[in-house]
Amino acid sequence: MKRLLALSLAAFLAAPAFGADVVFKLKDPRGDDNGDGNMIYPQRDDIQPGELDIVEFSASQEEDGTWFSVAFARPVAKPDVRVVDSLGLRLDQLAKYGFYNFNIDIYIDTDRKPGSGNTETLPGRKATIDSSTAWERLVCLTPRPQEAWDIMKAYLLQRERAIAEKEAGGRLLTEERKELDKKLKAELITSIFMPTKTRVAGNKVSFFVPMSFLGGPVKADWAYVVAVTGADYLQRISALSAFGLIDRENRLFNFPIEPGGKYQHAFGGGREDDPFQTPIVDLIVPSDTTQKKVLAETGGRNTRPSSLPGVVPAQQK
């Protein structure tokens, strides 16, 4: 009886709140958590094949927002009390939201106008979004959202300052920098959301996104790019982030992919001399193509990154 009650409670906590309406569900094949088909999981105990393999993505609407849910082929690994750094920090203190070994990026095209929106992906993903489903809203579920937010702000500030200074022909004045920083922070808040309200049980993680961010109820005729990367939860955060500067290695808590065999801090199976190969492990794609085709296509002699097409749930077979 105790076991039955525990299982029932876990299922309740993992599900969207009572009264939520399921708007759509998207299925994804099992066993495709290998990127373009050749990716090899890192050689470490805390991330295993199947743990980043999406089998279903769904959205349920509540009065004040949306519960997105992702189900994996294997149970979600939960943070434990192991010590993960030289200062004695525990994994459950570092990853506070019930998971630690994946990032889930959701790029949402809400206006459905080809060419309207953003085609960039998050730092370290090494991909673009197809312009026909360019995004207006981006949701990133990551084990360390506060730190990821700081990195993202620093990344954008450094890049936009460099562009503005090049156009101005010299260093920006203090007031000009402050005005640019204020503008970019406002744009970041309205376009990127990193959830902290999460529920984890079994093979499913659910996370809440307020309606104020999405601009209205979630819709099945929006386009969604859903991508999973392995989470490098120990990625160092530079103190320079507070000043709008980032480290030379431009990643947002994701493991890279490298040529050759197994690594501890990277995925193996990378292509030689391909700087555009994406470290995306699993990707939901439209029914008229395949993940392998999308992620393997980097154009001619590897001259551009993969272009990720959005999926419109209402149009899927």
Mean per-residue pLDDT, 253-257: 95
Beta-sheet strands, E only, within 178-243: 192-193, 198-201, 204-210, 223-230
What pLDDT does residue 4 have? 37
**Residue 262 · residue 291 · CB < 8 Å:** no
pTM for the predicted model, two decimal places: 0.88
Two tokens at 160? 């936009």
The 8-class DSSP code of residue 194 comes to -
pLDDT tens-digit readout, 185-229:
888 888 999 999 999 999 999 999 999 999 999 999 999 999 999
The 8-class DSSP code of residue 131 comes to G
3-state helix, strand, coil in the chain (%, to 5): 25, 25, 50
> Could you give the C-alpha distances from 237 to 53, 100, 149, 150, 264, in angstroms and in order?
28, 17, 11, 9, 20
From the candidate CATH numbers 2.60.40.1190, 3.20.20.70, 3.20.20.140, 3.30.2270.10, the one assigned to the domain spanning 18-315: 2.60.40.1190
pLDDT tens-digit readout, 76-95:
999 999 999 888 899 999 99
* CA 264 distance to own-chain centroid: 21
Choose the weakest-confidence range: 60-64, 124-128, 176-180, 290-294.
Answer: 176-180
**Domain locations along the chain:** 18-315
Strand-strand pairing, 127-129 and 137-141: unpaired
What pLDDT does residue 226 have? 98
Task: Compute φ and ψ for 239, nearest 5 degrees.
Answer: -65, -20
Check pLDDT > 80 for residue 122. yes
